[in-house]
Amino acid sequence: MAATALPASGAKQPLSITRCSVGKDGKVYVEDKKFYKLVINPAEFTHQRSICYNTTRTPGQVGNPGRFNAVNPDTISFQVVFDGTGVVPHPQGSDVPKDVAGQIEAMSRIIYNYNGEFHEPNHVQLLWGTLIFYGRLQSISTQYTLFSPGGAPLRARAQLAFLGFVSAAEGQLRANRSSPDLSHAVEVVEGDTLPLLCLRIYGDSRYYPQVARFNGLREFRRIAPGTRLHFPPLA
């Protein structure tokens, strides 16, 4: 699941990977205090979408109409660079470990380690710039490229791939694309205000402070036409 947004702030936005849980009601809940933020953002990422068609042929069949079968889950893949040389400064207040092994372990606790409570790996939310994606780790491949004289890794590259996830509740809601329980990407046009857009999408204009914070808006009274805003699902 992916959507778009355009933060108005020029400050650096690190890619964050946050643990999620799926409630008994079928909804996805983001666990805000269990996350990992990259020190070095990816140079690029790949978002793949694919459709599955039934191409099975019967004896004597001349053509193959390729009947629609299903929409496959989206996938997101990108490369993460870990640095333990001290050359790359950590953001002020960051609790990310300074060493490469510690950084990889901290990220693995969110995306890879087996969750004994649910008997499966964690669901996660990827959030960065125009990307918001819910899924689970599909694969991780780590290459160590620089070492200290004692053999401790000082730099590494990890290739990550995530398989998209859509809850049963959201799958049902997708039949109604205007539902306030779904993510929405909106391009601002002349005359739009944030309270008006919140009223249109959520049915309540009072959500505008939360939407302003989510999009990194410092000034929400005058939004330039053409700005793309992301309206997250209601909690």
Domain ranges of the chain: 16-52+68-167, 184-231
Which pLDDT value is given to residue 9? 43
* pTM: predicted TM-score of the whole model, two decimal places: 0.67
Which pLDDT value is given to residue 91? 78
Query: What type of residue sits at position 167?
Result: S
Give φ, ψ of 51 to 5 degrees: -120, 140
**111: Cβ–Cβ under 8 A, 6 or more apart, which residues?**
17, 36, 121, 122, 124, 137, 140, 160
Which pLDDT value is given to residue 234? 65
Sites in the chain below the pLDDT cut of 50: 1-10, 173, 175-177
Domain covering 184-231, topology:
Membrane-bound Lytic Murein Transglycosylase D; Chain A (3.10.350)
Which pLDDT value is given to residue 110? 94
Which pLDDT value is given to residue 180? 52
Number of CB atoms found within 10 A of residue 22's CB: 16
